[in-house]
Amino acid sequence: MQDASLRVGDGELVAIIGPNGAGKTSLVNCISGVYRPSQGQVQFEGKDITRLRPAARTRLGIARTFQNIALFKGMTVLDNLLIGRHFRQRTGLFTGGFYYGLGEREEIAERKVVEEIIDFLEIEHIRKKIVHTLPYGLQKRVELARALALEPKLLLLDEPMAGMNNEEKEDMARFILDVNEEKGTSILMIEHDMGVVMDLSHRIYVLNFGRKIAEGTPEEVRGNDEVQLAYLGAEAKPAPAAAGT
């Protein structure tokens, strides 16, 4: 991957697009800490976090979902979300051994946050369901809920609508927009559905073979000839005919 720098401002919803193998997920893995770039830096809120482990980046306020669902499928929806709150807990081994007092207050506070997310994403009816029994689209929504349980400042979404039908995509698009607008969360999203990308994004970056080939507003990217050739499958425009032919 070369010259693939990008920026996500406060409250922005930015998309990364490009053909399969363009390096989109690799770039998100560098941001989340799964990969470490061989050159360049990853900065968050003005700090160099290139060498921080994923857990440390989570504590700073970076959360993500995955292209392939990464939930605890033998547990309930509620338990998956509570696990997402684990890093926020301050109760130590000794004080945590006593439920009443600090441990009780902390658990009540964490459950309140989780219940608010459950209401926000309209998954009250499945809160006690085992994850693997749920339809695919609802599992993707639960994964979004678990990421939100981390209270991220920056949310990384890796193909949040992959494999969904049109109704499920509409629901997910609405929730993503609500997360961005109502919660003010900055979002960096990889998505192949161009309709969704063009409707939701403030800005778009386009990758091809590990190289950034375009960036701009949806309108600017839509009209870019190189993007149409590399990603949208359009043919190159023919050269104008010579005068007199």
Residue 181, both tokens:
């607008």
pLDDT (average), residues 27-47 = 94
Residue 112, both tokens:
């309140």
User: What mean pLDDT value characterizes the chain?
Assistant: 87
- Sign, CA torsion 30/33/38/39: positive
Strands 203-208, 13-17: pairing is parallel
CB 185 within 8 A of CB 152: yes
Distance CA 181, CA 201 (A): 12
pLDDT top residue among 188 and 108: 188
Angle between helices 136-148 and 77-84 (to 10 degrees): 30
Distance CA 95, CA 150 (A): 23
pLDDT top residue among 228 and 149: 149
For residue 60, give the nearest of 48, 71, 72 by alpha carbon: 48
- Residue 13, classed as helix, strand or coil, is strand
Q: Which residue is associated with the tokens 């939100």? A: 148
Cα 165 versus chain centre, distance: 19
pLDDT band at 110 (very low <50, low <70, confident <90, very high): confident
| Domains of the chain from N-terminus onward | 13-71+134-232 (3.40.50.300)
- Per residue in 77-89, pLDDT tens? 999 999 888 766 6
Q: Which has the minimum average pLDDT: 47-51, 127-131, 237-241?
A: 237-241
Distance CA 65, CA 120 (A): 17
Residue 152, both tokens:
């991220």
For residue 80, give the nearest of 150, 175, 156 by alpha carbon: 150
Give Rg (Cα) of the chain. Answer: 21
Residue 130 to residues 71, 75, 134, 232: CA-CA distances in angstroms?
11, 5, 7, 39
